């Protein structure tokens, strides 16, 4: 089956630093990847849609300068949280639908990255 990995799984950083989270589709290509964040005991909130070879599409209220998204290849998207603050602490999850094949259009999710900003 289609597998999506995220790295790191957990990160603790100091306030003011930047953190990069990688999302990889391991056995399929994805022209689009989605980034979500989840607060404790809340549902997933779509932050942005990452498009290979073009700019990401951000949801209303999400600061594009704060959450930098790069979709460098058909198997890799990165989310960089710049100048992180404690309120950025959250669980970040990416998902990717295969661009082709029998699982076309089905969302496969990474295991998530727990970010803690001190």
Partner 1 sequence: KQEVTQIPAALSVPEGENLVLNCSFTDSAIYNLQWFRQDPGKGLTSLLLIQSSQREQTSGRLNASLDKSSGRSTLYIAASQPGDSATYLCAVRAYNDMRFGAGTRLTVKP
Binding of residue 29 to partner 1 (CB under 8 A): no
Neighbours of 88 (CB within 10 A): 19
Contact 18/81 with Cβ under 8 angstroms?
Answer: yes
Binding mask 52-91 for partner 1 (x = CB under 8 A): -----x---------------------------------x
Reference 3, options 91, 59, 57, 75; nearest CA is 75
- Please count the residues of this chain forming the interface with partner 1, following the rule CB under 8 A: 23
19 versus 93: smaller Cβ distance to partner 1: 93
Give the shortest CB-83-to-partner 1 separation in angstroms: 26
> Interacting stretch for partner 1, rule CB under 8 A, among 14-22, 35-43, 63-71, 79-87?
35-43
Binding of residue 32 to partner 1 (CB under 8 A): yes
Binding of residue 93 to partner 1 (CB under 8 A): yes
Alpha-carbon separation of residue 83 from 15, 39, 63 (angstroms): 7, 19, 12
- Tokens representing residue 67 in the block: 């959450």
Binding of residue 28 to partner 1 (CB under 8 A): no
- Tokens representing residue 62 in the block: 């999400």
- Tokens representing residue 58 in the block: 């951000």
Binding of residue 11 to partner 1 (CB under 8 A): no
């Amino acid at each position: 089956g289609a597998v999506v990995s995220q790295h790191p799984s957990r990160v603790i950083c100091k306030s003011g630093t930047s953190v990069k989270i990688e999302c990889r589709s391991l056995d399929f290509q994805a022209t689009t990847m989605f980034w979500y964040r989840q607060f404790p005991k809340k549902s997933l909130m779509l932050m942005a849609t990452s498009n290979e070879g073009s700019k990401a599409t951000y949801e209303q209220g999400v600061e594009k300068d704060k959450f930098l998204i790069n979709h460098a290849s058909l198997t890799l998207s990165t989310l960089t949280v710049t100048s992180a603050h404690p309120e950025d602490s959250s669980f970040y999850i990416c998902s990717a639908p295969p661009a082709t094949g029998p699982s076309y259009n089905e969302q496969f999710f990474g295991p998530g990255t727990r970010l803690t900003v001190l």
